[in-house]
Amino acid sequence: EIWNEPENRADPKKNQMWTGTAEQFGEFLAVAASYLKKCFPDLYIGSYPSCNILTEKREAFFRTVFSILREKGVKLDFCSWHCYTDKPERTKKYIAKIRSLLDEYGQREAFQICTEWNYFWLRPGVWSEFELDGGEYLFEEMFKTASSEVGAAYSFAQMITFQRSEVKMATM
């Protein structure tokens, strides 16, 4: 896995993970992946983990990066992604979307790895709520839910979702 969530924020100036453009990241990934594969041909070399491929801006970032990889003839062994949700059905959408994009950009042999997943409330504006004064109490409430029977049921459902999919590995 190369880098972490370079498309973490829509505004690169506010992104603590990558402050450059999608084009710059695509060039970086192409060089890094090619060099690592040349030096370590037996290692699996993968993409950056997308933090939410189901959003328009993050999909656009992915498309830009993977179009550069295609232009340069760079093949990856895997594509990793992160999934924080409160509904395993959303995970199924992630899996299908990533597969569709990988196929579209000539990465048909690349397998999927979910390198971060956990229970997370999904509702409009929730990230903004965490950043407000007192947001730490909202985090605490969410973690209590994740530690309850609701979170346990979610975790089992997620594991079943992963087992019934093409995802090769999923780590919390």
If you average pLDDT over every residue of the chain, what do you get?
93
DSSP code for 53: T
| H or E element at residue 117 | strand 111-119
As a whole-number percent, the residues of the chain with pLDDT over 70 amount to 100
The per-residue pLDDT for range 46-93, each reduced to its tens digit, is 999 998 899 999 999 999 999 999 999 999 999 999 999 999 999 999
| 104 has pLDDT over 90 | yes
pLDDT of residue 15: 82
Q: Do residues 91 and 157 lie in contact, with contact meaning Cβ atoms separated by under 8 Å?
A: no
For residues 80 and 47, is the Cβ–Cβ distance under 8 A?
yes
Task: Give start and end residues of each alpha helix (H) in 40-168.
Answer: 56-72, 88-104, 126-131, 135-146, 149-163
Q: What is the C-alpha separation between 74 and 86, in angstroms, rounded?
A: 35
Residue 118 has pLDDT above 80, yes or no: yes
Q: Are 32 and 43 in contact (CB under 8 A)?
A: no
Q: For residue 35, what are the contacts with CB-CB under 8 A and spacing of at least 6?
A: none
pLDDT band at residue 121 under the 50/70/90 scheme: confident
The reported pLDDT for the residue numbered 110 is 98
pLDDT for 123 beyond 80: no
> Mean per-residue pLDDT for 30-55?
96
Query: What is the reported pTM?
Result: 0.91
